[in-house]
Amino acid sequence: MSSSGSARTVDARLSGFATLPWRRIILVVLGSTIAFVTVAGAYKTLTLPEGERYSGDFWIDQVVNGLGQGAILALIALGYTLVYGILRMINFAHGEVFMAGAFISFFFADAYLKSGFLDSNTYLALLILLIVSIAGSTLVAVLLERIAYRPLRNAPRLVPLITAIGASLFIANAFRGFFGPQPYGYPLPTLLQGSIGIFGISVAKVQLLVFVTAIVAMVALQLFVNRSRTGRSMRAVAEDSEIASLMGINVDRIVVITFVVGGILAGIAGVLFALTFQQVQFTMGFKPGIAAFTAAVLGGIGSIGGAALGGFVLGVLQAVGPPLLLTGFGIPSPFSLKDAFVFLVLILVLVFRPGGLLGSGEAEKV
């Protein structure tokens, strides 16, 4: 090693630099800055002079909106968590699975609106829309698994991730090719327009529907995973796929079922999202997809309860956080920073509590 004298000094310098607890220093500085900004921002916002201050009703509205969006996020997040639990991979294209269902159901909704069926038989029409959306999402999810992921089951972990990014681009742009780049207005049945009061709080009817449907779907999922034979197999594969296969479980079949379940949930979320925002477009999968992934990580990825909790928490944070923290600093239109806020939450969770809210907080898992 005598010939590498100069190289060794470089290394010594580098390791000298590295022996300082840089990570910890940066984390502490970052953590205290964020804590300070949060407290100061919230304090300033809430003590704004009368007239500029938000009313109490505003905050209630924000929380209700947040819960509604959180329910949708939770449904998508469950898809991420299920796939991650079984395959230990991030299904980057899951946002597109969600988009597919919403987009396909649009054409039915539009036809029903024109024929009057949507308003005359609202419940039946909504049920059909759900089924169509579920079928579309599930088909895309299964094809995705079969074509893009299965051949790479044992590949180094970055390979399927890159494939997933490619698949995501491909699916979104295939829909653009099929149906065109323009956004379509999704009809809202008359029955769901307006709002009703619950305990003195005014809630939009759509949001009530979203909330109820999402809760029902989550309970059904919980029962399926915990009570059914297939659900037991899924948990076994998630625990250890090799041993599960030795126990006579067909792992390929379980993986497909996982994608189907994820697709069903994404399909439900698709209709709910379309009814809430009344618009579909081929790009609509990206941002909810990332937000839902954040929700899954926030709750602790791989855990079903965590994904549901993460969805609701993130939904509320997203709705309440920007006005609460930013208005006080005089930052104009805080809602334009909503997406940045989601990413900030994602980064902070991964940095400070990588195991998520319900996770064990183990660093190794991440």
Partner 1 sequence: MRAAVRIGAIAGIVTIFLAAVGLIGNFTELNLIGTQVTFAGVMIVTPPLLAGYVAITPRIEAGRLIELGRGQALAAGATAGVLAGAVFGAFVIFVDTFGVERIREVFINISPVLMDYLTQGHPAIVAAAILVAVSVVAGTAGAGYRTLPDPVRRPLGTAVWVTLLFGFLQRIVPIALDQLEVERDWMYSKVTGGLTWVGATVIAAVAAAASVLKARKGDAIRGAIRGQRDRRADGARLTPLTFALMLVGLAVVLIAPHVLGSVISEVLGTVMVFALLGLGLNIVVGYAGLLDLGYVFFFTLGAYSLALLTGATLNTFVGSTEPAIAFNLNFYVAIPIVVLIAAGAGVLIGAPVLRLRGDYLALVTLGLGEMIVVLVTSPWLEPLVGGPQGMRDITNAAVGNFGFRDPKHFYYLAFAFVVLALFVSWRLANSRVGRAWTALREDEQVADAMGVSTTAYKLLAFAMGGAIGSVGGALFAVKIGSLTPASFTVLVSIQVLGIVILGGIGSLPGVIVGSLVLVGLPGLLREFEEYRLLAYGAALVAVMLLRPAGLIPNVRRSRELKDEDREQDKWASDVAADEHVATPITPLGEGAG
Q: With contacts defined by CB under 8 A, name the span among 44-52, 169-177, 207-215, 216-224 that binds partner 1.
A: 169-177
**Residue 264 corresponds to which amino acid?**
I
Q: Is 63 exposed, middle or buried (0-12, 13-18, 19+ CB in 10 A)?
A: middle
Largest CA distance in the chain: 88
Judged by phi (left if over 0) then psi (alpha if -120 to 50, else beta), residue 171 lies in alpha
Q: Which residue carries 């997933």 as its tokens?
A: 164
Q: Which of 37, 60, 344, 357 binds partner 1 (CB under 8 A)?
A: 344
Q: Does 135 bind partner 1 (CB under 8 A)?
A: no
Count residues binding partner 1 (CB under 8 A): 72
The contact mask relative to partner 1 for 252-291 (x = CB under 8 A, - = no) is ----------------------------------x---x-
Taking the least distance from each CB to partner 1, the nearer of 26 and 39 is 26
Query: How many CB atoms lie under 10 A from the CB of residue 220?
Result: 12
Q: With contacts defined by CB under 8 A, name the span among 71-79, 120-128, 212-220, 333-341 that binds partner 1.
A: 333-341
Taking the least distance from each CB to partner 1, the nearer of 69 and 163 is 163
Q: Contacts with partner 1 in 211-240 (CB under 8 A)?
A: none
Q: Does 9 bind partner 1 (CB under 8 A)?
A: no
Q: Does 80 bind partner 1 (CB under 8 A)?
A: no
The contact mask relative to partner 1 for 312-331 (x = CB under 8 A, - = no) is --------------x----x
Taking the least distance from each CB to partner 1, the nearer of 209 and 313 is 313
Cβ 263 vs Cβ 95: under 8 Å: no
Q: Contacts with partner 1 in 23-62 (CB under 8 A)?
A: 23, 26-27, 30
User: Shortest approach of partner 1 to residue 221 CB, angstroms?
Assistant: 24
Q: Contacts with partner 1 in 175-204 (CB under 8 A)?
A: 176-181
Q: Does 171 bind partner 1 (CB under 8 A)?
A: yes
Q: What is the dihedral of CA 136, 270, 281, 307, to 10 degrees?
A: -120
Cβ 362 vs Cβ 355: under 8 Å: yes
Q: Does 142 bind partner 1 (CB under 8 A)?
A: no
Distance CA 246, CA 248 (A): 5
Collapsing DSSP to helix, strand or coil, 204 comes out as: strand
**Can you name the residues that pair with 296 across neighbouring β-strands?**
none
H or E element at residue 198: strand 195-198
User: Shortest approach of partner 1 to residue 45 CB, angstroms?
Assistant: 15
Q: Which of 189, 270, 354, 355 binds partner 1 (CB under 8 A)?
A: 354
Q: Does 339 bind partner 1 (CB under 8 A)?
A: yes
Q: Which of 153, 205, 235, 353 binds partner 1 (CB under 8 A)?
A: 153
Q: Which residue carries 């996770």 as its tokens?
A: 359
Distance CA 128, CA 122 (A): 10
Q: Does 293 bind partner 1 (CB under 8 A)?
A: yes
* Structure-token pair, residue 209: 């529907």
CB within 8 Å of 204: residues ≥ 6 apart = 64, 68, 194, 195
Q: With contacts defined by CB under 8 A, name the span among 155-163, 207-215, 220-228, 234-242 that binds partner 1.
A: 155-163
Q: Which of 7, 215, 220, 223 binds partner 1 (CB under 8 A)?
A: 7
Distance CA 82, CA 85 (A): 5
